[in-house]
Amino acid sequence: MSIAARKKIKHPRGAIKRRAKTAAEKMQTFRSRMRAKGFKLVQKWVIDTNRPEFIAEARRQSRLISGTPEDRDAIRFLEGLAEDADEWN
């Protein structure tokens, strides 16, 4: 096939191979779209509740208040919240 004949062949859009975007490029595109929609990126640091130090401190504090009248009131309050949580979905 001659060069002139090859030039007349049109390729469908999907046939053109493009370089795949990196994860960083995809994230930048996503963030740009979100900013254009009026959103703002917010990042927060939170406590890692899986750390042994956190678990030990939570247990220590639980033992300190267990059995007190305030503890029983708090448990009743939390159980009431748990019952209402089904309505939140």
pLDDT tens-digit series, residues 19-77:
889 999 999 999 999 999 999 999 999 999 999 999 999 888 888 877 777 777 888 88
Residue that wins the pLDDT comparison between 54 and 83: 54
How confident is the model at residue 34, as a pLDDT? 96
CA distance 71 to 89: 28
Domain boundaries, the chain: 52-88
Maximum average pLDDT range among 12-16, 38-42, 61-65, 80-84 = 38-42
Measured CA to CA in angstroms, residue 79 lies from 4, 37, 70 at distances of: 79, 40, 14
Quote the pLDDT of residue 62.
81
